[in-house]
Amino acid sequence: MIDPILWDGETLQLIDQRKLPLIKEYVTCRGLDEVCEAIRNMTVRGAPAIGVTAAFGFYLGVKEGLNPEFVAEKLISTRPTAVNLKWAVDRMKGALKNGENLEEKAKEIFFQDISINIKIGEYGAKLIESGFNILTHCNAGALATAGYGTAVGVIRVAHEQKKDIHVYVDETRPYLQGARLTAFELNELGVKNTLICDNMAGYLMSKGMIDFIVVGADRIAKNGDVANKIGTYSLAVLANYHGIPLYIAAPFSTFDPTTETGEMIRIEERDAKEIREIVGVKIVEDTQKCFNPAFDVTPAVLVTGIITELGIFKPCELFESYYKFFGGKDEC
């Protein structure tokens, strides 16, 4: 597998996910501006990976002598939906306040992400039986994290346990994270998989060809509503109708107790160029009006369960567990 994030003590190396799987090259970030641009232009993407990248970006910005609050605000403004970014920046701000070594704190966040992902995979794999046909959407694998994966991490552990599984991979328009990244990762892991267009998922469900759905998340609200890649809500509605379990695989850093419901989550709208072109090839005129929200929100009622590093919870149990493990008081 390719390492999505590399740190050599001076520079941050990020695999350019815009060019995978056909071209495998790294982008070098030497300072805050380059890190922010890499997050903004999706050289790096995936909520946990963005968080780890932001941690190193904070260190580089402070090292440049920039005001820490300016550094934090600039990083947080790059991608508004994924909460892991702010979570990582807040941890770095706390480390600075406590006089901790910022480089070591960023490295700690990096390695912690991998260990958390492995735990998520181990819990999630318990839900998967040999013979399952699994559907996943977007990319929640090694490339979306520090190097292991959340939703794909669940699949990865099940495969390592020698379970006979097969994965249907949604291509995930318009950015094609499923086609370019998830299928690529599964092939690297030796997991049997089939790529499908997004609008084929309902047909497969109607024919009994899907047993289990697992996806990642970019932010989970206090009531269990889930923001994830656009198209997740459609899958959840279809899964509910067909009686197919749909699970979210995400670390607790993706949970946001300050956001009451999914309606409060700001949905990033990206450049129309991503719709007008496919991998750089224009398919409509530049004058064609487009709408390109990057995420949608799936109501908690449509989510079977949420797989975390601390176990599997129903959406309404999530924040009761959050406060139990991380402090504070509230009601589910």
318 residue type, one letter:
L
Report all structural domains of the chain as residue ranges with CATH numbers, in order of start: 5-115 (1.20.120.420), 117-326 (3.40.50.10470)
Burial 245-259 (b: 16+ CB within 10 A, else e): ebbbbbbbbbbbeeb
pLDDT tops 60 at residue 254: yes
Report H helices in 207-317: 232-242, 273-276
Asked if residue 239 lies in contact with residue 212, where contact means CB atoms within 8 angstroms, the answer is no
Active site residue 16: no
Catalytic option among 113, 170, 198, 218:
218
Confidence of residue 119 (pLDDT cuts 50, 70, 90): very high
Nearest to 216 by CA among 117, 129, 291, 114: 117
Confidence of residue 137 (pLDDT cuts 50, 70, 90): very high
Confidence of residue 200 (pLDDT cuts 50, 70, 90): very high
pLDDT of 166-176, one tens digit each? 999 999 999 99
Rounded Cα gap, residues 142 and 39, in angstroms: 16
The whole-number pLDDT of residue 233 equals 98
Rounded Cα gap, residues 36 and 57, in angstroms: 8
